Amino acid sequence: MNATTRRARMVAVAAAGLLALSACGSDGDSDSGSGGADGGQESTGGGGEADGESLADLSPQEVSDRAQEALGSATSLRMRTLTDPEVIGMGLDLHMDQDGSCQGSVTQGDGGSVELLVRENDEVWMRPDAAFWQSQLAVADQAALSLLEGRYLYGHMSDAEFSQMAGACSLSAMQSQLGSDEGSGGADEVGPETDYNGTPVVTLTGPDDDGNEVTMLIATEGEPYPLLVRTVQGGTDVEIELSQYGEPVEFEEPPAAQVLDIADFRTGDIGA
């Protein structure tokens, strides 16, 4: 499971760390007033437009500071890779909140995919597909795979089988990365206002730690949330979409008949 986790964290940290396009501290303007929030997005007090001032009129440093503050204050968000997982070898679609709840999926090419449900950084339900059972959980027997098809493993974050994978969908961990990433360069340019999925945005560009160009689309109405991050990983363009800011993470517990306790899985008592 380590390879999957490393890639999951790489993408998650990319979405967070890329906000630190400039490593300097805030110039003090990042807490200037806020407008209301659109599309269910929460208010953090640092609006995309304050006192008639457009993000497009601010310096790259100021835009980066405001976007970083907004992302760091978000109580929940959905992070989704838009690039084909077959191309980059990894895909994420995770809705997570600061309480540690998470709902979504992780895909790893030939390594298979897994659905994740995490409740307040404690209880974990994980439903792997056949390839994931084989490659990440070492289930080779075809009869066992047939019995496990469509079933969830249930346990807790303290269980070794879950701690790394479930930890990859941690909003608080992603936000803490914002505060610790010192970056290597500065944001270079703020582009003119444009539109992303019906929301007015500005484009912020600059280098990441490896010198690759990063592009972010940042909302200019309501909070200055980053809505799209484009970067390069392993020579391939990668797009990460951030949405559903402030919306609660909701899921239903799987039916008991579809759940296998991790203790039973360890002993091979997978039932019929």
Mean pLDDT of the chain: 79
pTM of the model: 0.81
Each residue's pLDDT tens digit, 188-219: 788 889 999 999 999 998 877 677 788 889 99
At residue 119's C-alpha, the angle toward residues 115 and 124, to 5°, is 50
Distance (Å, whole) CA 90 – CA 151: 22
Lowest-pLDDT range of 26-30, 54-58, 134-138, 255-259: 26-30
Whether pLDDT at 33 is above 60: no
Question: In which residue are the tokens 């380590």 written?
Answer: 2
Distance (Å, whole) CA 48 – CA 223: 5
Whether pLDDT at 185 is above 60: no
Question: In which residue are the tokens 């592009």 written?
Answer: 215
Give the pLDDT confidence score for residue 44 in this predicted structure. 40
Two structure tokens written together for 169: 């969908």
169, 15 contact by CB (below 8 A):
no
Lowest-pLDDT range of 36-40, 128-132, 164-168, 247-251: 36-40
User: Would residue 40 be called left, alpha or beta, if left means φ above 0 and alpha means ψ between -120 and 50 degrees?
Assistant: left
Comparing 159 with 88, the larger pLDDT belongs to 159
Comparing 33 with 246, the larger pLDDT belongs to 246
Two structure tokens written together for 268: 């091979």
Percentage with pLDDT > 90 across the chain: 38
Give the pLDDT confidence score for residue 232 in this predicted structure. 77
Nearest alpha-carbon partner for 72 in 31, 115, 114, 27: 31
CA end-to-end distance (rounded Å), the chain: 26
